[in-house]
Amino acid sequence: MTNILKCNDVQRYLNRYQDNELEPQLRLDVESHLQYCQQCSAQLLQLEEVTASLLQLPQQEPAMNFTARVMADVNKKKSSQWFAFPSLLYSLVFIIFCLLGFMLNPYIRPQAAPVIPTEIMIASNNTPMVSTIAGYSDILTQSRDLNLMGIQDKTLEMVYNRTGSNGNNGNNGE
């Protein structure tokens, strides 16, 4: 059973009707209308003429060797991917070896300079003082030229004098 449609409605549906995109019932309704409506039929004819003109344009086929050319490109791509992987691997191995060499080489590793993170107590009588730092007993020689007053965290020239005692004059520089 079909529904009766008005021209306004049908003209809205004509494009979808021509493109076969209408639901079955609606398609029947439009067809029923077209059977007796010349105006809408003429409009449909115009749409069909445009489509027919488009389809009459000459169609260009792919070239004879199209597939062969594509597959040549594809195989080239595949080969380049295959070669890329080992070269990346080799680069990675090389970098790892360099890093290992750097870490294991004792000559490269810098010698940590002894640091004396302490305030230096300068004896007023200009006598050598002993500063105890983390278990070390050192005799620090004061020199006016060196101007050691207030020096912190600086590497000094040390003279180790093992006097058989801790050499601790009660001044603990910590």
Partner 1 sequence: MMKDNELVFSDDDVVRSVREGNTRNFEILVDRYKKKIVIFIHRMIFDYDEAQSLAQDVFLKVYESIKKYKTQNNFQAFIFTVAKNMTLNYIKKQKRVLLFSGLLPGSEEKIFHSRETQHHDVEKSQQEEMMTAALKELKENQRLALIMKVYLEFSYKKIAEITGWSIPKIETLISRGKSDLKKRIILRQKLQDNGSLNVLKVRET
Is 80 an interacting residue with respect to partner 1 (CB under 8 A)?
A: no
- Output the smallest distance, CB 2 to partner 1, in A: 23
Is 53 an interacting residue with respect to partner 1 (CB under 8 A)?
A: yes
For residues 142 and 158, the answer to whether their CB atoms sit within 8 Å is no
Q: Which two tokens stand for residue 28?
A: 């029947």
Is 84 an interacting residue with respect to partner 1 (CB under 8 A)?
A: no
Q: Which two tokens stand for residue 155?
A: 């590497």
Q: Candidates 3, 31, 39, 66: give the one binding partner 1 (CB under 8 A).
A: 66
**DSSP of 102-166:** HHH-TTTSPPPPP---SPPPPPTT---EEEEETTEEEEEPP-TTT--TT--S-----B----SS-
Nearer to partner 1, 19 or 31 (CB): 19
Is 8 an interacting residue with respect to partner 1 (CB under 8 A)?
A: no
- Output the smallest distance, CB 77 to partner 1, in A: 7
Q: Candidates 6, 19, 93, 136: give the one binding partner 1 (CB under 8 A).
A: 19
- Output the smallest distance, CB 17 to partner 1, in A: 11
Is 50 an interacting residue with respect to partner 1 (CB under 8 A)?
A: yes
Neighbours of 116 (CB within 10 A): 20
Beta bridge partners of 131: 138
